[in-house]
C-alpha cells in the first residue's frame, strides 16, 4: 500500500517481518504468486468490511453513506491508499494472475454498491451498475487525490461534494 506492486521485493518484506528472504520463497515461489495472494486477501477482507457495514447498518441508505469509510481508513493509516488503486495504476506491468485479483476488488465493490443502490430505491436495477462504478471511481479517485496532497480533510471535502452533487447518498 505504500510502494505498489513494482516497489515490492522479498528482501524488504523479509526485513519488515524479521525473517530471511528465502523463507518467503518457501511459501511464494515468485513475486507474482505473492502479488496474487496479497491482492486476493485484500479483496476478501474488503468483502468482510462491506458485510460488516451492511450488518451494522441494515438500512441500505445508511450503509451506502458509510461506504467511503473503507477508503478513508487507508488514508488515516500513514497516508496510504487502497492496494487495488496502486495496482490498477500499474496494471500494464502486472502479471495476468494479479490483474484478475485487482479486477476482483473493483468487482466486489461495484457488486455491493449496485445491490444497495437498488435496495435503497436510488436507481432502477438496470442503472445500478453504472452508478455503482461511478461511485467506486469517485471515492477511489478522492482517496488518490487526497493522498497526493497528504490531506485527509481533502478526502472528506470531496466526499461531501459528491453527496451535495447527488452522486453519493446524502
Topology of domain 38-165, CATH = Tetracycline Repressor; domain 2 (1.10.357)
The pTM of this model reads 0.89
Q: What is the largest CA-CA distance in the chain?
A: 54
Is the C-alpha dihedral spanning 94, 50, 118, 164 positive or negative?
negative
Q: What is the dihedral of CA 63, 68, 80, 90, to 10 degrees?
A: 100
**Tens-digit pLDDT string for the chain (170 aa):** 566 777 778 888 888 888 888 888 888 888 899 889 989 999 999 999 999 999 999 999 999 999 999 999 999 998 888 888 888 888 999 999 999 999 999 999 999 999 999 999 999 999 999 999 999 999 999 999 999 999 999 999 999 999 999 999 98
- CB–CB of 117/128 below 8 Å? yes
Domain ranges of the chain: 38-165
Amino acid at each position: 500500500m505504500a510502494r505498489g506492486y513494482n516497489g515490492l521485493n522479498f528482501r524488504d518484506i523479509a526485513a519488515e517481518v524479521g525473517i530471511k528472504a528465502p523463507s518467503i520463497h518457501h511459501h511464494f515461489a515468485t513475486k507474482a504468486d505473492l502479488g496474487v495472494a496479497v491482492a486476493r486477501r485484500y479483496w476478501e477482507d474488503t468483502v468482510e468490511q462491506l458485510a460488516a457495514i451492511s450488518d451494522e447498518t441494515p438500512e441500505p441508505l445508511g450503509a451506502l453513506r458509510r461506504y467511503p469509510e473503507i477508503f478513508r481508513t487507508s488514508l488515516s493509516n500513514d497516508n496510504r491508499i487502497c492496494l487495488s488503486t496502486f495496482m490498477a495504476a500499474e496494471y500494464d506491468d502486472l502479471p495476468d494472475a494479479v490483474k484478475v485479483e485487482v479486477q476482483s476488488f473493483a468487482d466486489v465493490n461495484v457488486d455491493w454498491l449496485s445491490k444497495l443502490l437498488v435496495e435503497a430505491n436510488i436507481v432502477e436495477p438496470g442503472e445500478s451498475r453504472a452508478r455503482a462504478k461511478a461511485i467506486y471511481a469517485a471515492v477511489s479517485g478522492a482517496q488518490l487525490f487526497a493522498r497526493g496532497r497528504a490531506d485527509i480533510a481533502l478526502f472528506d471535502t470531496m466526499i461531501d461534494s459528491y453527496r451535495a452533487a447527488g452522486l453519493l447518498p446524502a
